[in-house]
A and B are shown apart, each in its own frame.
Chain A
């Protein structure tokens, strides 16, 4: 009995308490908002609580895996992920015009989700291996490692996920020391290639971008989401209408209001004060993550911690930007808020990695 408790306490000692507090706070808000958005549907709330419980357990497990072991998982996950992406391209099931899913008989599996963690792990592992003398060629190879899954996912087509994975890879290269010359040069090149890229976009993707510029042009179609979510947020005002008092959300005007558009519900019911608090909570996680990165003893830990932190905020920015009508509608959930198991698990696995980096201070193998 004594030994068991000791073992459990040892597991819990690998948790970063600041990060844990922030995560639990956000998840608490999430449960409240999902409850309100679902019209206090018991099935939805309990489903969400199960997801949260499962994701938190996996986070604890992750936190207990030392970084050097984690780094070894990177290449395996990466290779497996790329193979699965190719499999998807060949055998994948088409849903809504995209080939993103592998039908495993019991469940439909979306391999691109796996790559969200596999790409930074792979790159961090690669740079850790070549820590002693990082040169241009390493960044070139790193870029190539990023490009393979990026292009495969882009071709599915899944622009949103491809960009998010691209961003995570880019952050890792950036923190690994990608020269400014290349970053700036690449930025200029990217800007110049926008018109070319426009040509490669699918019709529906172009439509989304155009709809963003003028939501009223398609009020019943793609513009409906943006119009209704901005009305919800805007009508919330300074202090909001109060929990479960949002007319927009309670009267069904916001589509997907427990998942991708959950911020519209939050914004309506908690107002600008709530929005500031929410953004501050996310920024605190980023800040804590960057502190962990700055203190990490290994390059792998540093790169993973910094990348995961910034990546989380990128998700926040893209989701809130989309819901508040400054970015096109892409299917990106709001981290730690949206209902949905896979994304929550992926995110809390990331938090687990951050905690593992924070709590495993020794350089050598245990």
Chain B
């Protein structure tokens, strides 16, 4: 039994304890005060701030990409359109094991090796959170199979996407171009031009052709859905939406059938063709052979296909019509003749006796005519129709390189035409200053001689030749060539025609021009270099043949096409407009290794004229043709 503590002591202990209890109560009240003060600050003082933060937490703007504008030909035929299709896409960040998921999908639906290669390339280029398409244009059955199995395919999803479909065929690829997935460089450009908001949610951007040059018009502006989202970003419901603004439709001057006829006329040959409306600058056809299927690029191209396209010796990706540079050869002779008349160096009746060669004073070097033995007595008209080299050697020497350069410059040679496509070459119109700058060498008289027949340093694109020809057809008006004729507003549905852009006008004495035109008409008449190609035409054609040397021919050696490998044969050129009296179409044709302008290039131009002016569709050209005189 313990001794009981004295009562007095117990009272004191109890009093002390109660004191401490009161202190404990005060402590609890203090802590409660702190909590309530903090809650007051959060819930009353800073309430507005937190409401805002909760809203921005909760609401996310989900971009709704706009429909891309259509591209139509002059008759309203669709060249580029949109369609919606299901794709199966994968996200690296969400896939636990990408290879396993791929293998699983491969068991469910058919994935071609090409699709797999393309997917791996895109995956390597993409960010972790980006979705990368594996297979697009899924069939309903494939969608159903995948949808049923998505739960065991981590990182995979099936989505409806807008795609671009190019119906113009491979020949149209160089005009319409194609869209491709936006890469980092595109993104930076979009951001720098302040358009990043418009591109929210957009996967594709124009990469080449009209798709590239009219990107801003075609694209439109993204809309935004205000969505309520949960913490993992899943949309729970839509609150409001700002609809996207669709892109504008483009209508071209270009006639898809005409283009098709032109391509067809090329047969197996490579080359470029540009047909212009000389009165508006509208591009009626723009061919670069070979073409390729632009649809391959829309959703990313697989590396093997890309390699085969890019490394093909035929270089299908190069737009020869505006990038291919070739010596213009004899096709500049009408222009040289006009310069001779306009500069007062020649009268139409001034004639030479052509012995088949030309020598500079104090030189033994013989500049030969293409025709052994020469053309005999040649005046200006005959110099064009017969393509007499000697006439132009002399004219060039009389004119001098400076005046030649200045006069030809007015017709756009050696400059970009400003067509509404990107990547155009400027070619080269040689001058004394250029040579000094480029080669640090003076200009030699012999160089003037060959410049007179479009050889030597001269380099032009088919587009430049077409522009030059259009100027001869319209009397000197330099109009910027243009593919797009009209733009349609998506809301009003009204087409707005684009006015032609005049770059300048060369003042030409009509009499002088008439003589040159007569010479060009003679080209297609019996006795002219392209007479065979123009035979039986229901309208007059004014033109000029030409060849561009691929390999230099040694002094004294003769050019013989049949003894050369095809890739060493000369490029064949032909420029022409029709009807000769009242021209509505001007054409420049360049056939790589075509041999002679009259043999291969002129028939292609004839086919284009026939279709455009009479609606007649000609047959395909044979690869090997009899070489006619040039």
Binding site for B on A (CB under 8 A): 131-132, 171, 174-175, 177, 228, 230-238, 247-248, 251-253, 267, 271-272, 275-276, 279, 282-283, 286-287, 290, 293-294, 299, 302, 306, 309-310, 313-314, 316-317, 320-321, 324-326
Q: Judging by beta carbons under 8 Å apart, are B43 and A232 in contact? A: no
Contact between B28 and A310 (Cβ–Cβ < 8 Å)? yes
Give bound CA distance, A297 to B2, whole Å.
17
Report whether B231 and A253 are in contact in the complex, using a CB–CB cutoff of 8 Å: yes
Contact B42 A253 (CB under 8 A): no
Q: With the chains together, A286 CA to B27 CA distance in Å?
A: 11
Residue contact B5 to A235, C-beta cutoff 8 Å = no
List the B residue with the shortest CB-CB distance to A250: B230
Taking the complex as formed, is B34 at the interface, i.e. its CB lies under 8 A from any CB of chain A?
Answer: yes
In the complex with contacts A235-B47, A317-B35, A324-B42, A286-B25 CB distance below 8 A: yes
Do B228 and A294 have beta carbons less than 8 Å apart? no
For A132, the closest partner residue in chain B by CB is: B5
Tell which of A132, A237, A286, A302 touches B43, judged by Cβ atoms closer than 8 Å: A237
26 A-B pairs (CB sep. < 8 Å): A132-B3, A171-B24, A174-B20, A174-B24, A175-B24, A177-B17, A231-B57, A234-B54, A235-B47, A235-B50, A235-B53, A237-B51, A238-B43, A238-B47, A247-B57, A248-B58, A251-B236, A272-B40, A275-B36, A275-B39, A275-B43, A279-B35, A287-B25, A290-B25, A302-B17, A320-B39
Q: Beyond A237-B43, A252-B231, A306-B24: 6 further Cβ-contacts under 8 Å?
A: A175-B17, A238-B43, A251-B57, A290-B21, A313-B32, A321-B34
Report the nearest B residue to A255, measured CB to CB. B231
B488 CB to nearest A CB, Å: 43
Q: Which residue of A lies closest to B24 (CB)?
A: A310
Q: Which residues of chain B are near A235, meaning CB under 8 Å? A: 47, 50-51, 53-54
The CA of A275 and the CA of B41, in the complex, are separated in Å by 12
Tell me, rounded to whole Å, the shortest Cβ–Cβ distance linking A27 to chain B: 20
Chain B contacts for A175, CB-based, 8 A = 17, 20-21, 24
B362 within 8 A of A: no
Could you say which residues of chain B place their CB within 8 Å of the CB of A237?
43-44, 47, 51
Is the pair B43, A271 in contact by a Cβ cutoff of 8 Å? yes
Q: Does B31 contact A (CB under 8 A)?
A: yes
In the complex, per-residue mask of B47-91: 1 if CB is within 8 Å of any chain A CB, else 0: 101110110011000000000000000000000000000000000
B residues near A238, Cβ cutoff 8 Å: 43-44, 47
The answer to whether the Cβ of B191 comes within 8 Å of any Cβ in the partner chain is no
Contact residue range for chain B? 35 or more
A177 to B50, CA, bound (A): 45
- Kindly identify which residue among A251, A276, A309, A326 contacts B34, using a CB–CB cutoff of 8 Å: A326
Q: Is B16 an interface position by the 8 A CB rule?
A: yes
Closest to B9 in A: A132
Complex CA–CA separation, A232 to B58 (angstroms)? 11
Tell me how far the C-beta of A171 lies from the nearest C-beta in chain B, rounded to whole angstroms.
Answer: 7
Q: Is B360 an interface residue (CB 8 A)?
A: no
> B38 an interface residue at 8 Å Cβ cutoff?
yes
User: A251-B229, A310-B27 are known contacts. Are A272 and B44 too (CB-CB below 8 A)?
Assistant: yes
Known contacts: A177-B17, A287-B25. The answer to whether A231 contacts B54 by CB under 8 A is yes
CB proximity of A198 to chain B, nearest CB, Å: 23
Binding site for A on B (CB under 8 A): 2-3, 5, 13, 16-18, 20-21, 24-25, 27-29, 31-32, 34-36, 38-40, 42-44, 46-47, 49-51, 53-54, 57-58, 228-232, 236
Contacts of B17 in A (CB 8 A): 175, 177, 293-294, 302, 306
| Contact assessment for A231 and B20 in the assembled complex, using a CB-CB cutoff below 8 Å | no
Asked if A294 and B21 make an inter-chain contact with CB atoms under 8 angstroms apart, the answer reads yes
B44 nearest CB across to chain A (Å): 6
Report yes or no: B43 in contact with A272, Cβ–Cβ below 8 A.
yes
**Which 3 A/B pairs are nearest by Cβ-Cβ distance?**
A234-B50, A235-B54, A252-B231
Q: A241 — nearest CB in chain B belongs to which residue?
A: B54
CA distance A290 to B57 in the complex (A): 43
- Does A230 lie within 8 Å of B50, measured CB to CB? yes
A276 touches B46 (CB 8 A): no
B39: chain A residues at CB < 8 Å are 233, 267, 272, 275-276, 320, 324
CA distance A150 to B367 in the complex (A): 109
Chain B residues whose CB sits within 8 angstroms of the CB of A279 once the complex forms? 32, 35-36
A230 to B29, CA, bound (A): 23
Choose among B5, B20, B31 the residue that contacts A131 (Cβ–Cβ < 8 A): B5
Residues of B within 8 A of A317 (CB): 31-32, 34-35
CA distance A285 to B229 in the complex (A): 40
C-alpha spacing A306/B21, complex, angstroms: 7
Q: How far is the CA of A310 from the CA of B32 in the complex (A)?
A: 12
| A286 contact from B18, B28, B47, B230, Cβ within 8 A | B28
Which of B28, B34, B47 counts the most chain A CB atoms within 10 A? Answer: B28
Once the chains bind, are A177 and B35 in contact (CB under 8 Å)? Answer: no
> With a CB–CB cut-off of 8 A, which chain A residues contact B230?
251-253
Distance of A325 Cα from B42 Cα, bound (Å): 10
Complex interface: chain B residues within 8 A of A293 (CB): 17, 21
A325 / chain B contacts, CB cutoff of 8 Å? 38, 42
Contact A320 B57 (CB under 8 A): no
- A309 contacts which chain B residues (CB < 8 A)? 24, 28
The residues of A that contact B51 with a CB separation of less than 8 Å are: 234-235, 237
Q: Which of A247, A283, A320, A321 is in CB contact (< 8 Å) with B54?
A: A247
In the bound complex, CA of A317 to CA of B35 (Å): 7
Query: Contacts A235-B47, A238-B43 known; A294 to B18 CB distance under 8 Å?
Result: yes
CA distance A194 to B29 in the complex (A): 26
- Which chain A residues lie closer than 8 Å to B29 at the CB level? 283
A174 and B17 alpha carbons, distance in the complex (Å): 9
Contacts of A310 in B (CB 8 A): 24, 27-28
Q: How far is the CB of B23 from chain A (nearest CB, A)?
A: 8
A361 to B35 alpha-carbon distance, docked (Å):
35
Q: Which residues of B contact A283 (CB under 8 A)?
A: 28-29, 32
Contact (Cβ within 8 A) A320 B24: no
A290 to B27, CA, bound (A): 12
Complex alpha-carbon distance, A248 and B230, angstroms: 8
| C-alpha gap A231/B5 in the complex (Å) | 57
A139: shortest Cβ distance to chain B, in Å? 14
For A271, give the chain B residue with the smallest CB separation.
B43
Determine the residue in chain B with the shortest Cβ distance to A240.
Answer: B43
Q: How far is the CA of A276 from the CA of B28 in the complex (A)?
A: 14
Chain B residues, CB < 8 A from A326 = 34, 38
Chain B CB within 10 Å, residue with most, of A228, A231, A248, A293: A231
- In the complex the two chains form, what is the Cα distance from A230 to B5 in whole Å? 54
**What is the CA–CA distance of A209 and B508 in the complex, to the nearest angstrom?**
87
Interface centre among A235, A248, A293 (most CB of B within 10 A): A235
Which one, B16, B46, B58, B232, contacts A234 given CB within 8 A? B46
Q: Which of B5, B18, B29, B43 has the most CB of A within 10 A?
A: B43
